[in-house]
Amino acid sequence: EAQVTQNPRYLITVTGKKLTVTCSQNMNHEYMSWYRQDPGLGLRQIYYSMNVEVTDKGDVPEGYKVSRKEKRNFPLILESPSPNQTSLYFCASSFRVGIHNSPLHFGNGTRLTVT
Amino acid sequence: KNQVEQSPQSLIILEGKNCTLQCNYTVSPFSNLRWYKQDTGRGPVSLTIMTFSENTKSNGRYTATLDADTKQSSLHITASQLSDSASYICVVSEDSNSGYALNFGKGTSLLVTP
C-alpha cells in the first residue's frame, strides 16, 4: 500500500532533550516536506527536500533540522526542543511539486508535547 | 503574509444541506490550486486539482470552481453527509524561478450535524 509513515504518533518530552521524528515513503517520490499545524495558524512548512541531498528552509525552520540521505526517508530533528515546538507535525511527499497530477501525500501526524 | 485566504473559518450545517467554501488567493504566477480534506486526527487528502484552464471539476458530491481572473476558487458540497465533517484546506502552487512553492490557506472547519 502506497503510504507515508511517521513515527511516533505521540511523543511527550522535556525541554532540551534531543528527539527525532521519522518519516518514510514507499512511492519513490522526489519531493518530501515537513509541516507543523497549530490552531488558527493552519499548516506551516518547516523544511522541504526536492530530492536526495537537497533540502531547503520553509516558513518556520528555526529550531529544526532535517536530512535527506536516501530518497525514502526524511527525518525531522529537534536538537533542543522547547515548549513552543509543541504542535502537530505532518510529513508529506509528492512525485514532484508543480506537476499537475502530483498531490501531496501526508502521513497521519505526530503529536509532540514539550514540557 | 498569507497569500491564500479561506472563508468562512468554520461552518455548521445540517445533514443533507449544501454548502460552499471559498478560497481567494494572490499567488502569482499561478500554477495550480488543490483542495484537501483533513479528517480529525489524520493527514490531509487531496480532493481535486484546478489548473489555469479549468473552470469547474467534480469529484462525487464535491465540485470545485476556479476563476483565474478574480483569483477565486470555491468548493461546493452537495447533499452533505456526517462524514463530510472535516477541515478543508486550499493550497495554491506558485510557479517561481526557483521552482514551485506551495501556499496554504488556514482551512475551513466544517461540521455536519444530524
Q: What is the pLDDT of residues B40-64, one digit of tens each?
A: 989 999 999 888 888 999 999 999 9
Task: Please give the residue of chain B at the shortest CA–CA distance from A89.
Answer: B43
Query: Which pLDDT does position B2 carry in this prediction?
Result: 65
For position B28, what pLDDT does the model report?
A: 86
| d(CA A2, nearest CA chain B) in Å | 13
Angle at A88 between CA B32 and CA A59, to 5 degrees: 50
Lowest pLDDT segment from A48-62, B12-26, B65-79, B92-106: B92-106
**If interface means Cβ-Cβ distance under 8 Å, which residues of chain B face chain A?**
31-32, 34, 36, 41-46, 49, 51, 89, 91, 93, 95, 99-100, 102, 104-107
Query: How many interchain CB pairs under 8 A, A with B?
Result: 53
Q: CB of A56 within 8 A of CB of A48? A: yes
**B83 pLDDT more than 70:** yes
Residues 6 or more apart in contact with residue B17 via CB below 8 angstroms: B79, B80
pLDDT reported for residue A62: 97
What is the pLDDT averaged over residues B10-29? 96
Query: For position A96, what pLDDT does the model report?
Result: 77
The tens-digit pLDDT sequence of chain A (115 residues) is: 889 999 999 999 999 999 999 999 999 999 999 999 999 899 999 999 999 999 999 999 999 999 999 999 999 999 999 999 999 999 999 987 766 668 999 999 999 999 9
Pick among A7, A36, A100, A111 to test the B interface (most B CBs inside 10 A)? A100
Are A103 and B31 in contact (CB < 8 Å)?
no
Residues in chain B with CB shorter than 8 Å from the CB of A41 are 106
- Across the range B65-74, mean pLDDT stands at 95
Residue A100: predicted pLDDT: 64
> All 3 cell numbers of residue B82?
456526517
Percent with pLDDT over 90 in chain B: 77
Mean residue pLDDT across chain B? 92
pLDDT of residue A104: 92
- pLDDT for res B47: 95
- Smallest CA–CA separation between A14 and chain B, in Å? 23
Check: CB of residue A9 under 8 Å from CB of residue A110: yes
pLDDT, residue A1, reads: 83
Cis status of the peptide bond prior to B114, with omega within 30 of 0: no
The distance of Cα B102 from the centroid of its chain, to the nearest Å, equals 14
Q: Is the pLDDT of residue B29 over 90?
A: no
List phi, psi (to 5°) of B83: -70, -10
Alpha-carbon distances of A115 from A21, A60, A87, B3, B58, rounded to whole Å: 17, 20, 12, 33, 45
Q: Is the pLDDT of residue B96 over 70?
A: no
Residue B15 has pLDDT above 90, yes or no: yes
Q: Is the predicted pLDDT of residue B98 greater than 80, yes or no?
A: no
Pick from B40, B8, B10, B24: which is nearest to B92 by CA? B24
